[in-house]
Structure 1
């Protein structure tokens, strides 16, 4: 801070001197001093950003320090360069994924599951449960999980942890554009997963909206460090768009007719977009065209088309 103030003082003195006209020699000296101070300040800033970056990476070497790493990132990421900040965040995500199974093994214990079953109500998150419980061991477990970057979900009567991508929104503005988009995609997926208990848990319109967002990411950032993850997610959405899920089939199991709401959503996406500029929409248009020829019924021709475009 003192160094930055010194650079500012030198610059101000130079400006005043030039306006007063003390002579070219003094002005040149002030300019040289300013350049030296600015260079020194830049060097100090770079050194500090490197220190922040290296300390974050050192914390991530130990699973026991994951919570400390999460807190450190949120407090210090603005002091790193965008490239460093991006690497720090992605390495944290890697660590959270790598340690997720170990964390879930703690939650899969019968004693923990039974306590959560009695305690948890719809809409409760880890912070709410921490406040609600008087069980010290459970409170400690829930707190550690939250602080380590996880959130609690439930499916088929089981409680389990997932990565808390919405929390990444706190540091979104400090990372590169592709990872900002990635955070948004994963935040939507975390807040409202597309499937639960083998059934679609979002509307068909939302399916098309998310698929288009994923496709846009892949077009905009084909070389992104997270392109492979988004491509895998996009493939899931493409398959859902053409097949549905076991408990939310696209075609009725008995009549073989397409779900009217699903067809309407797919058709709306095609009409609002431009199939010539979107592989996803081009696929949907072709699918709808084949359906029209087959009276909206799942026939061998329809099956052949969707296998040719989705591989499933």
Structure 2
């Protein structure tokens, strides 16, 4: 049988010849560089071909909403075998598919019988997996499992149950994507695990509002050409607005007295004191906000309103 000489075999042969016949045999053994380079080139080519096959297969799966769960599982299992750029595209196209199919999924959860069942089943701390184990209804099990396996998680607000994207699950593929998308996944994971608002009221601390706004600002500065910079910019604008306006049920200024929330003001002052408004557009705006608030004795006046309006442009 004819044997193929690989790079590893050639190296082993060179060592063996050196031991047997001395330096004189080395010249013959080192006449293998072309073969070695060829073997390396072939290995690289095979790896590239394999990575492309994985990427293309996932793209084919994502063309069919019914294959979304299969695509997600396939990505999680194989993403380590593709390039960071391909991994980035796989993660973002998965996110796109989840967003595109979210409303259709939610329509199934909005049905009265499903909502009633969830009211009975759901307890604090439950997720789709625990609900699957709780119910004996085969239809509900299939509904919950399909949603979970397709990349969604269950949330509740104002007495309604609904699905959102399970961004914490993207942490599984985070090590393999580009740096900007690593940061994006972290930003969206924080939003998902601890929502900023519930029933139009702030559900995180003012310190957390400031922290998230600064992280979002840093993302926009660091990755101005990222595929997800538009989404993070929108999120940043929301947090900038919250930092000066609050929310309907957690207003920055009291509706009756028009006085600023002292805890919110203290958090903003601490951030400006610790940070550097000269290098942060966010802190520069917040410092300007505090200056005009102090000038108006902590009261919401037309001058304060005008400042907020201009700062949000």
Fold shared per TM-score above 0.5: yes
Question: Which residue matches 2:276?
Answer: 274
Question: Which residue matches 1:238?
Answer: 240
1:142-291 matched pairs, under 5 angstroms: 142-291=144-293
1:105 aligns with 2:107: yes
Q: Distance in 2 between matches of 1:18 and 1:300?
A: 90
CA offsets, 1:147-179, max 9 Å, x none? 000000000000000000000000100000000
Offset, 1:14: 4.2
Question: Which residue matches 2:8?
Answer: 8
CA offsets, 1:48-94, max 9 Å, x none? 00100000100000000000000000000001111111101100100
Offset, 1:13: 3.9
TM-score, normalised to structure 1, is: 0.95
Offset, 1:223: 0.2
Q: Distance in 1 between matches of 2:118 and 2:216?
A: 35
Q: Distance in 1 between matches of 2:15 and 2:180?
A: 41
Q: Distance in 1 between matches of 2:12 and 2:296?
A: 78
- Name the SS of the counterpart of 1:153 in structure 2: strand
Offset, 1:300: 1.0
Q: Distance in 2 between matches of 1:108 and 1:262?
A: 37
CA offsets, 1:100-139, max 9 Å, x none? 0000000000010000000000111111111111111101
1:72 equivalent among 71, 74, 77: 74
* Higher mean C-alpha displacement, 212-221 vs 298-307: 298-307
1:41 equivalent among 40, 43, 67: 43
2:128 equivalent among 123, 126, 143: 126
TM-score, normalised to structure 2, is: 0.95
Offset, 1:11: 3.8
Taking only aligned residues, the RMSD between alpha carbons, in angstroms, comes to 1.5
Offset, 1:228: 0.2
Q: Is residue 14–residue 31 contact of structure 1 (8 Å, CA) maintained in 2?
A: no
Q: Is residue 152–residue 159 contact of structure 1 (8 Å, CA) maintained in 2?
A: yes
For structure 1, the 5+ residue unaligned runs are none
- Name the SS of the counterpart of 2:32 in structure 1: helix
Offset, 1:6: 4.5
Q: Distance in 2 between matches of 1:238 and 1:11?
A: 62
Q: Distance in 1 between matches of 2:129 and 2:37?
A: 50
For structure 2, the 5+ residue unaligned runs are none
- Name the SS of the counterpart of 1:160 in structure 2: strand
Q: Distance in 1 between matches of 2:33 and 2:140?
A: 63
Q: Distance in 2 between matches of 1:16 and 1:283?
A: 72
Offset, 1:272: 1.1
Q: Distance in 2 between matches of 1:42 and 1:211?
A: 43
Q: Is residue 14–residue 30 contact of structure 1 (8 Å, CA) maintained in 2?
A: no
- Name the SS of the counterpart of 2:155 in structure 1: strand
Q: Distance in 1 between matches of 2:277 and 2:170?
A: 33
- Name the SS of the counterpart of 1:225 in structure 2: coil
Q: 1:190 to 1:14 in 2, by over 3 A?
A: farther
- Name the SS of the counterpart of 1:123 in structure 2: coil
* Higher mean C-alpha displacement, 47-56 vs 24-33: 24-33
